[in-house]
Structure 1
Amino acid sequence: MKKISLILALLLVLIIPTGYSKVIKGVNIPGNYQYFGKNLVLNGTGFRKKFFIKVYIGALYLEQKTNDEKIVISAPTKVVKMHFLYKKVKSSQMKDTFKEGFEKINENLLKESAVQEFLNSVSFDVVKGDEVDLIIDKDMVTVLKNGNKIGDFKSQALADALIKIYVGEEPADSGLKEGLLGKE
């Protein structure tokens, strides 16, 4: 009996993946995100659409899964990862999209120096296959493009506004919000 239990336990360890991931539109979405010793888990995924075009697959990583936007917004550490599907998004489009999101939340955000620095940092083109990570850790925002650091921005106002663009009351894309919250 002990041998059977041991064999079954061994099979479970071999069969159950530790780094769950899923594939969407040919893109591997990892089940975990490692950030300075923190293991964040995939909360949900969704498409960012513009005029019926799927621009990117968004993935939200948190310390613990939740479908409550208030818990996501108040979570100390969260990552929004964008896996671009569209052939090319120009730097001006990237910057304008974030600018519109900030204006929707609060026009005064654009007066913040950290918000302006962030907007200037996201002025880069992206092409199909590129990945952009927005790491929000308390009052620090780190931007990565294809794993390379673009910049760090220390601002609670920026950190709070950035996550609200995705899962706040008036998100940039309501379908993406539902997916990130794991509701789709």
Structure 2
Amino acid sequence: MILRRAALTVLLSLALPFATQAQTVDAGGAKFETSAEVAGQKLVLNGAGVRYRAVFKVYAAGLYIKAKADTPDAIIKMDGAKRVQIKMLRDVDGKDLGKAFTEAMQKNMTPEDRSKTINGIFKFGQIFADIKRAPSGSNIQVDWIPGTGSQVFFDGKAAGEPIKEPEFYAALLRIWVGEHPADDNLKDAWLGKGKSR
């Protein structure tokens, strides 16, 4: 009986690293949990990849939604809570990061979209200007919380007020899954069609 219990303990200790490993996804050295909870809703990691600028890794990003989806339209139109999680892989000035995000949103907008999101884009840019610096290892989340809006979190702390317009969060998602994505390989990773380099 004692030997059987000892053998079981050894087997469990050997299996545990594999069980733990299976619950995260690696993207450029950054780990993403395969599930998350936003506003009491359980979400799944749809995909994670790396944003490159030239040959340099800038950040790893993961998308959490309520059910797996493999098209931009399905992701954007899906109801319920959502999360974009960004893990910085190099030091970036907050203002520069905010500018890059807002410019990427504008590249994927129609004039009609722009009129509905201009207020949110301004607020979003200001949040990053206020952050001042996004060092390597820092964690940024932008959650869509139904009934509240888009809330930015920097290293777990709320940054700025929620941006209420749902059109803003759709514009945010198009940074990575729009017709002119920030990184083609990252778009593919989010859609389950490959991994970022």
Q: Normalising TM by the smaller chain, what interval?
A: 0.7 to 0.9
Q: 1:84 aligns with which of 82, 88, 96?
A: 88
TM-score normalised over the length of structure 1: 0.83
Show the counterpart of 1:122.
128
Alignment of 1:25-36 (within 5 A): 25-36=28-39
Task: Flag as ranges the 4+ runs of structure 1 deviating above 4 A.
Answer: 14-19
Residue identity over aligned pairs, in percent, reads 26
| 1:41 positional shift | 0.7
Other structure's SS at 2:57 match: strand
Show the counterpart of 1:145.
154
C-alpha distance in 2 between matches for 1:60 and 1:148:
19
| 1:22 positional shift | 2.6
Paired residues of 1:138 and 1:159 also in contact (CA < 8 A): no
Question: Alpha-carbon deviations, 1:157-183, whole Å to 9, x = none?
Answer: 211111111111221111111111121
Aligned length: 172
2:175 partner amino acid: I
Other structure's SS at 2:70 match: coil
CA RMSD of aligned residues (A): 2.4
When structure 1 is superposed on structure 2, of 117-126 and 131-140 the one drifting more is 131-140
**Is residue 59 from structure 1 mapped to residue 62 from structure 2 by the alignment?**
yes
2:163 partner amino acid: F
Q: 1:96 aligns with which of 65, 75, 99?
A: 99
Show the counterpart of 2:140.
132
Show the counterpart of 2:183.
173
C-alpha distance in 2 between matches for 1:147 and 1:80:
13
Higher helix share: 2
TM-score normalised over the length of structure 2: 0.78
Q: Show structure 2 runs of 5+ residues with no match.
A: 1-11
CA spacing shift, 1:55–1:174, aligned 2, 3 Å: same
CA spacing shift, 1:107–1:93, aligned 2, 3 Å: farther
| 1:28 positional shift | 2.3
Paired residues of 1:78 and 1:136 also in contact (CA < 8 A): yes
Show the counterpart of 1:7.
none
Question: Alpha-carbon deviations, 1:30-53, whole Å to 9, x = none?
Answer: 111111211111111110011111
Paired residues of 1:81 and 1:134 also in contact (CA < 8 A): yes
C-alpha distance in 2 between matches for 1:141 and 1:40:
16
Show the counterpart of 1:4.
none
